[in-house]
Structure 1
Amino acid sequence: MHYQLAYSIGFHPWEDAATDQPFVDKISELFDREEAGRERPFGPALDLGTGSGIWAVELAKRGWQVTGVDIVDKALRRARDRVAEAGVDVRLVHGDVTDLRAADVGSGYRLIVDSGTFHDFDTERQRAMGREVTAVAAADATLLLIAWPRRRRPLIRGADREEIELAFPDWTITGVEQSHFTLPKLMEAVLRPDEQWYRLRRR
């Protein structure tokens, strides 16, 4: 998907996830699990393809030290507004998720969240993203990654489990769960949103 174009024309249906209660409940459940048994502050978290900063703000509210990275300027402007309105501390970085070290996002991230970038990439970019995520992750890091199953559809390429494992050879998939994301009826009929959350732990 061409996110620069999408944001330029005001097309960003993925932001509707913030008001999609089943999806919100599921991502909150995933965050709850990562925080269980820990005390605030929970440590550094990285939001990949942060967009307008929906989940970066949520993580900051929960007690994470958050950096959000995105390559789309308009998305980052929306994110800055959202961060200011929420009154939280989030570092926003303009950069490519397949070249995180060049973007100078830092390192030592204990939680990394990708709510929709990896599954749009071809194999080369998937593996580049995997290398960069591994380079900035802490030794005990968790990665929460959404992927729509790989099949023929408009807009979204999708990714299967094998592609995720090949892109993240130093990580182990410890869980796969439905995201419960919904779309407007017309888009749902075309795209069939059956995306899944993958949880990976660094080995």
Structure 2
Amino acid sequence: MGAVFAAMFAVGAQPWARSGRQGVDLLDGRLGRDAGPSASAPRALDLGCGTGADATELARRGWAVTGVDDVPRALASARRRARDAGVDVHLVRGDVGDLAGLDLVGPGLVGEEGFRAVLDVGCLHGLDVAHRAAVARGLDAVTGPDTLLAVLAWAPARRLPPLPRGLDAEDLRASLPGWSLEHVEPARADLVPRWLHRTRPTWHVLVRR
């Protein structure tokens, strides 16, 4: 999938560009604002951060953010976006299936408690079962109990590659056995391109047990 995403970034095709805002709101509402003004910044991980729109927004709201992506061009755009917004985002190039082997700790991210929240805007739903299992192992290594995970995914369907198959609640439960699915809601139509509405994009919020 990395080559596919690289090609899409190269031609400026980013249909997910606005979709993540709903996930940011979900995480921020559950954890970010609850932290209070005197608390240290909660840590957030953006899986497949792309050009950094969601990572930058989380940082703007007071999170200490790490973004991971395997497309250099996307990461370069993410760095410019964060710099222009005047926020710090720790950006890491690497495979989301190797989270435990990446340098996910940057300025403002010191601590051993792990990430308090994870955002996934269409990353897991494009991976095969083995790759999702690797992501799950990595998440278990870098998060702690009660961590929130917000996942945006298309409904499962037979699609020609490179389009993602998608996933549903059952797939998530199978892929993330250490997590509980607590909330499901449709993606907001105004944040998803009209031509993607037929894929029934849905947000799933899970909590690590």
Greater relative contact order: 1 or 2 (C-alpha under 8 angstroms, separation 6 or more)? Answer: 2
Amino acid at match of 2:71: V
Q: How far apart in 2 are the matches of 1:162 and 1:39?
A: 35
- 1:154-173 correspondence runs (5 A): 154=160, 155-173=163-181
Aligned to 1:131: 137
Cα gap change, 1:62/1:156 in structure 2, threshold over 3 Å: closer, same or farther?
Answer: same
SS of 1:37's partner is helix
Match of 1:183 among 185, 188, 193: 193
Aligned to 1:37: 34
Residue 38 of structure 1 deviates from its aligned partner by: 2.1
Residue 137 of structure 1 deviates from its aligned partner by: 0.7
- Matched-pair identity in %: 38
Which consecutive unaligned segments of at least 5 residues does structure 2 have?
Answer: 106-111
Aligned to 2:5: 3
Count of aligned residue pairs for this structure pair: 194
Q: TM-score, normalised by structure 2?
A: 0.85
Q: TM-score, normalised by structure 1?
A: 0.87
Q: Root-mean-square deviation (CA), in Å?
A: 1.9
Which consecutive unaligned segments of at least 5 residues does structure 1 have?
Answer: none
Residue 67 of structure 1 deviates from its aligned partner by: 0.5
> 1:182–1:193: 8 Å Cα contact kept in structure 2?
no
Aligned to 1:174: 182
Residue 34 of structure 1 deviates from its aligned partner by: 2.5
Residue 9 of structure 1 deviates from its aligned partner by: 2.5
- 1:51-70 correspondence runs (5 A): 51-70=50-69
Q: How far apart in 2 are the matches of 1:183 and 1:138?
A: 34
Aligned to 1:48: 47
